[in-house]
Homo-oligomer: A and B are copies of this chain.
Amino acid sequence: MKYLTFGEIMLRLKSPGHECLFQNGTLEATFGGGEANVAVSLANFGVDAAFLTVLPDNPVGSACMGELRRFGVDTSRILTRQGRMGIYFLESGANQRPSKVVYDRAGSAIAQTAPSEIDWDQAFAGIGWFHITGITPALSESAMELSLCAVREAKARGVTVSCDLNYRKNLWKYGKEAPQVMRELTKSVDVAIANEEDVQKSLGISAAVDVTAGQLDREKYRALGDQVLREFPNLRLIAITLRESVSADINGWSACLNNGSKFYTSRRYEIRDIVDRVGGGDSFAAGLIYGLTHYQNHQEALEFAVAASCLKHSILGDFNRVSVADVEKLMAGDGSGRVQR
């Protein structure tokens, strides 16, 4: 099975450690973005993963492509054209001080690309699974069209489609509300992934859940999933991550999966010294995609996804660098952190 993910990858400029942005004259320059993060994580699990995007034809774009290749991601389907690369600035929070993301992604190459510029036959050649998120259609009118086109082209070819509903309130500036677009897009999706806020803001389906509270009521999530599956009968399943934000360093982390007939809840992990929260949801998506295609049942797939994304919180950068062995060790119950010699 070959996997394809599609979306925007950005230059990520982070202040070192816990420093505020521009506190000193250095920024850590890496790359990241929802769908690219999924591709890299899949490649790190040893499967054949490709990433589709549009990059500027300059040293920033080629450095990005090299970085993806380093992880073994197939970059041969990536388009290059004029334009710029989206950027996000990141300041890492601590305790009560939240992490801050400052977007500088307007006018990126991908946001200016029309569906006709992509050769979909070539893009989907040999692909069995396609992954997209709610971020891409939020970028621009043309990116929204690209996104809808992509999922429909995927379905037309019998490719399984997963979508992380990811809601970003500082995007969606081109005149459409998220639900208008996302409800349409979800009609071509097989596997939906979300956190509680995404479901509400992206699909306009509201749940009586208080996000800012520490403890989460898992049972309410069963009902929320049921409702989504009722409204979108094409969906085979929906998985929802459950983050309990105690502080910027301390989170509870678990998830549930609703496949219409059964509701699974995962083991809950207490993460008390978060290294990097960004990309946590993406690492869950990658884990779930891997899990659904490599394990016998949904419970195991879910546990793999949660364990994989739990580990991501201890890794710097957008990309989850763990292997299947690392994840299965944690799934098997060893989260003691004992030195491996």
Binds B, one of A179-187, A224-232, A257-265, A267-275: A267-275
CB of A234 within 8 Å of the partner chain: no
**Cα(A271)–Cα(B211), bound, Å:** 21
Most buried by B among A20, A107, A337, A338: A337
CB of A32 within 8 Å of the partner chain: no
CB of A168 within 8 Å of the partner chain: yes
Q: How many copies of this protein are present in the complex?
A: 6
CB of A248 within 8 Å of the partner chain: yes
- Residues 300-318 (chain A) with a chain B CB within 8 angstroms: 310-311, 313-317
Q: Is the CB of A168 within 8 A of B59?
A: no
Q: Is the CB of B25 within 8 A of A338?
A: no
Q: Is the CB of B104 within 8 A of A316?
A: no
CB of A125 within 8 Å of the partner chain: no
**Cα(A330)–Cα(B93), bound, Å:** 13
* Chain B residues with CB below 8 A from A169, complex form: 341
CB of A99 within 8 Å of the partner chain: yes
Q: Is the CB of B27 within 8 A of A13?
A: yes
- Smallest CB gap from A19: residue in B: B316
Return the contact of A341 from the options B96, B103, B214 (Cβ within 8 A): B103
* Chain B residues with CB below 8 A from A338, complex form: 98, 211-212, 245
Return the contact of A311 from the options B97, B99, B322 (Cβ within 8 A): B97
**Cα(A18)–Cα(B314), bound, Å:** 8
**Cα(A72)–Cα(B91), bound, Å:** 22
CB of A95 within 8 Å of the partner chain: yes
**Cα(A211)–Cα(B337), bound, Å:** 12
Return the contact of A248 from the options B13, B246, B337 (Cβ within 8 A): B337
Q: Is the CB of B18 within 8 A of A25?
A: no
Binary interface encoding of chain A residues 309-339 relative to chain B, with 1 for a CB under 8 A from any of its CBs, else 0? 0110111110001100010001001111111
**Cα(A85)–Cα(B22), bound, Å:** 14
Q: Is the CB of A23 within 8 A of B104?
A: no
**Cα(A95)–Cα(B23), bound, Å:** 26
Q: Which 6 A-B pairs have the closest CB atoms?
A: A248-B337, A22-B63, A96-B335, A245-B336, A94-B314, A97-B314
